A and B are shown apart, each in its own frame.
Chain A
Amino acid sequence: MSATAVVHSLLTSAAATPAADRIPTPHIEYAQLSPVLIVLGTATVGVLAEAFLPRRSRYWAQLGITVVGLAAAFAAIIALAADGYATTRAHIAAMGAVAVDGPALFLQGTIVLIALVAAFTFAERRLDPVAHGNRVDSFAAQGSAVPGSPQEMKAVRAGFTTTEVFPLLLFAVGGMMIFPAANDLLTLFVSLEVFSLPLYLLCALARRRRLMSQEAAVKYFLLGAFSSAFLLFGIALLYGYAGTVAYTGTATAPGIAQVIDGSANLTPALANSTGNDALLLIGGAMVIMGLLFKVGAVPFHQWTPDVYQGAPTPVTGFMAAATKVAAFGALLRLLYVVLPGMRWDWRPVMWGVAIVTMVIGAIVAVTQTDVKRLLAYSSIAHAGFLLAGVIAVSPSGVSSVLFYLVAYSFVTLGGFAVVTLVRDAGGEATHLSKWAGLGRRSPLVAAVFAVFLLSFAGIPLTAGFAGKFAVFQAAAQAGAVPLVVIGVIASAIAAFFYIRVIVMMFFSEPQPDGPTVAIPSPLTSSAIAIGVVVTLVLGVAPQYFLDLAGKAGVFVR
């Protein structure tokens, strides 16, 4: 048979296939996916604005587009939740690809709000000194210009700013919103890439210390690619085991969960390979590894300090808050929906991961001398506390993790926003020795940062305490008492270094050449204020939010 004949026969046989065997037109519930669609649509509008608007009007246009888009997405989430999609009408949309349920909507709402606050810090233009008559933000004048080159000088002199960060932020947010809602492994992988790639770019775009920023981006990209490969390989193995990438399904069209618990009607060929537990165990472990990388759990945490330190601080704040929310959402869904039948296999491993994450995060943080690295290690320790809640495998485990994520993320955003304020001639003064005596120079900023640190340390009446109590309580009720004890000890170690910073700020002599505290615009001020309000409200009156997280804590299967 000649080549043309083959093609011909393929075409004709395709045409002759009975209707049932054709790829069906996907049935998409646009309304239920509207939050994600709005965010991605807004991002596309942002790209168009970047292409067609004159440079001088881009900043305000992009800021407006971003804020409106995020607000609309949040409104859509609220509308869906009010329609009962979080509880009674929760179901799986888009041909089994995306779940619309309580955890998904809760986390999407959280991510959108985080992005909104982060967008404020992205847009801050009063901190850096005016360069050549132009107000500039914390992003490079021109990302493509080689650091130190004449081209860069020209861009700076012309007053360029990288307004592309706003569409990049929105694309990342879109990916993060799908990540915890993904209901099959391919959607999971695609959404991971959708939010990771913009983040790699954003990390490289610092206005100052550009080489460090680019180094951070390359490290993040390389290690991120590595973890993506793990995830993808794991997906392949799981597919080999179950013959499907869907998380859940019915007996006749089973998802991985059904294959694992044996309730699926399997074809003989598939029944052969499902006996192969090696595929399941290795595949599951690799997928979990990919997610633990994004979470920043030990031993997959090495990227965190370098990337947090090198990235522009607003990006660090966004990344630290939103990535953690999205990744923990995905991890919860994977462990609670797909692998609950395997919990006797993964729980011991996750125990170990949680313990080393808490302990190493806390201990290594003690030796840090840079505020951003300190917060990076603290975020690792917090990932460990969160894992303690994940391990509970109970409804209170889910709701406690959801609550903790909200508490943690807004405090983190506020904390990094404060870091952007403390500056010297070289930009942000992140070395801890420069923070000495800050409490005397600007008591308000120091007091606010102290509130955030106390919340990180889990002092009562702050959000951090309520969150920590929630996850430890869930863990203790699930019988993980040793984990709680280790968590408490790690908290004590962690408290030491938070308090060391407070000591430096309030009890040390200010250095004569110390940094100044820039007066921010209402944008950063409101980001910090939101952080303080969330810290206190969730600390003093957490019941409403615990209820919300409790109601949202049921995964659709």
Chain B
Amino acid sequence: MSGFTFPLLTVTAAVPAIGAIATAAVPAARRTAAKWLALAFSVATLALAAVVTGRFSPGGARYQLTESHAWIRDFGVRYELGVDGIAVVLILLTAVLVPFVMLAGWHDADPLEGPVPNRRWRPTNGFFALILAVEAMVVISFEATDVFLFYIFFEAMLVPMYFLIGGFGDRAGATGDDAEEQDARQRTYAAVKFLLYNLVGGLIMLAAVIGLYAVTARQLGTGTFSLPEILRARADGRLHFSTSSERWIFLGFFFAFAVKAPLWPLHTWLPNAMTEATAPVAVLITAVVDKVGTFAMLRYCLQLFPEASKWATPVIAVLAVIGILYGALLAVGQRDIKRLIAYASISHFGFIILGIFAMTSQAQSGATLYMVNHGISTAALLLVAGFLITRRGSRRIADFGGVQKVAPVLAGTFLIGGLATLSLPGLAPFVSEFLVLVGTFTRYPVLGILATVGIVLAALYVLVLYQRTMTGPVKAGIEGMKDLKVRELLVVAPLIALLLFLGVYPKPLTDVINPAVKDTLSDVHRTDPAPQINAVAKETAK
């Protein structure tokens, strides 16, 4: 390749970053201007992400649109970007969700009205700038093909996320001084818990990153973090991990991703963070930021450490199934709407991780598809739940009842989001959940059966939630509830359309995902198990 090529991936990450700075620079008083500016930048990012998707050819080279520049030579760090099919769909997911997150949170950082106006400090420009900063960092971590570059943004992402959780809490129940104090304390606790869990995970990964450098430096002469370079060196036989060092480094990486994803039993930060954050920020956590964890398992754990991944698979698969059942069971018992959705997410992350480590092509395609579908379905459900909570001023399920009589559109969209969460056939998550279960079953039948129980429980918690909040007699405090406004419909309608479309016709996504999954599996030297059915059929034929 000669001459100047347009650095498309850099620009895609840089636009939201520049947007974050520009939005932060808007004077604090000009709240509306800051909002529109941020929204414009997020839409521009979406356009760029669409261009990236358009330029990506599914049958082509493994990493496309690559960029590579020297950065910190002494650390063997290069600024290397490149996308495979998995990264492309996740970048697209991020870029699609962020504008909706912003629209849904349009008034979340407005000054509070009420008995003590302006008691809490809520800089509007800061809120939107932080969302754009998170978007920029997530996008670049999907794009990075240098482990160190990825690590930097994987960690740095925590800072804006932390301020979003701790600085802009839910407005539910904040009446009176004491309640507000209580709320602020819980919110701070959630933000600190989020940060500490992820920071500890990240620092343990740092030790593993340094270990990776030490291994490559010893064997290749110069240390490198470049993923393609390491894969090439290992294919040539120039690089060989000893069993123990591969396992230790794998564990360091996996720990960080398992905290982020989150995998049971490292999940306890998620319910706190999602409950205390505003609904749009909760969407950002679970639908966007957490995807970096599962994505990194696919890209880094499996590709860099195939042997160790195979070694750890049984344990991880069992933990994932425990997560599916545990998350679902706890979701059934929740009294708080957002907490319920958080535990449902933990259950779904169990499915994604199970799909990744089942190491069959169906399961991994399903898991990747699930990352996208879970993002969209959770966003739909959570954002509608957010509208509901803002209207009532409470997150308690017991405070609701009969909403469908006063706000039918709201109730209807809530139901569709819920049905997507329980993987109703015809809606997008069904396809992915089905693929994961089928793919798992061929390798681990028992785990597959157990995971299926998670689906049954999902039907239980979603339908019971709907029944308690939406049906029945209209409760006190619900009577005057307004239905969805135009802005809110603009958020929900496209998400529901996407859920329906991908539920019926997931081919555009699977076409992009499948080649990447095949490459990943060939790195792990795993092929799909021979179909057992045939063997049985032969037996019976005799």
Contacts and interface: CB of A to CB of B under 8 A. Distances in A.
Interface residues of A, number: 37
A276 to B, nearest CB: 39
A128 B156 CA distance: 37
Given A459-B155, A484-B210, A495 B187 contact: no
Nearest to B196: A496
A332 interface: no
B163 A506 contact: yes
Interface in B178-195: 181, 184, 187-188, 191-192, 195
Given A470-B75, A488-B206, A477 B214 contact: yes
What class of interface size applies to chain B in its complex with A? 35 or more
Contacts of B113: none
Contacts of A469: 75, 206, 210
A533 interface: no
Contacts, number: 97
Interface stretch (B35-43, B197-205, B338-346, B481-489): B197-205
Interface stretch (B49-57, B66-74, B354-362, B451-459): B66-74
Interface in A489-507: 489, 491-492, 495-496, 499-500, 503, 506-507
A360 to B, nearest CB: 18
A440 B120 CA distance: 9
Contacts of B218: 477
A499 B203 CA distance: 15
A142 B1 CA distance: 72
A497 B184 CA distance: 19
A5 to B, nearest CB: 70
B213 A460 contact: no
B211 to A, nearest CB: 6
A489 B203 CA distance: 7
A10 interface: no
Nearest to B212: A476
Contacts of A499: 162, 192, 195-196, 199
B517 to A, nearest CB: 30
Interface string B225-245: 000000000000000000000
Given A460-B155, A461-B156, A499-B192, A507 B214 contact: no
A90 to B, nearest CB: 21
B220 interface: no
Contacts of B167: 506-507
A555 to B, nearest CB: 19
A547 interface: yes
Given A488-B203, A503-B191, A461 B152 contact: yes
A313 interface: no
Nearest to A437: B121
A505 to B, nearest CB: 11
B460 to A, nearest CB: 37
Interface in B60-92: 70-75
A410 interface: no
Interface centre among A473, A489, A496, A509 (most CB of B within 10 A): A473
B192 A503 contact: yes
A481 interface: yes
Interface of B: 70-75, 121, 123, 151-153, 155-156, 158-159, 162-163, 166-167, 181, 184, 187-188, 191-192, 195-196, 199-200, 203-204, 206-207, 210-211, 213-214, 217-218, 223
28 contacts: A459-B155, A459-B156, A460-B152, A460-B153, A465-B152, A469-B75, A470-B74, A470-B75, A473-B210, A473-B214, A476-B213, A477-B214, A481-B214, A484-B211, A489-B203, A491-B206, A495-B196, A499-B162, A499-B196, A503-B166, A507-B166, A507-B188, A507-B191, A509-B181, A509-B184, A543-B71, A546-B73, A547-B73
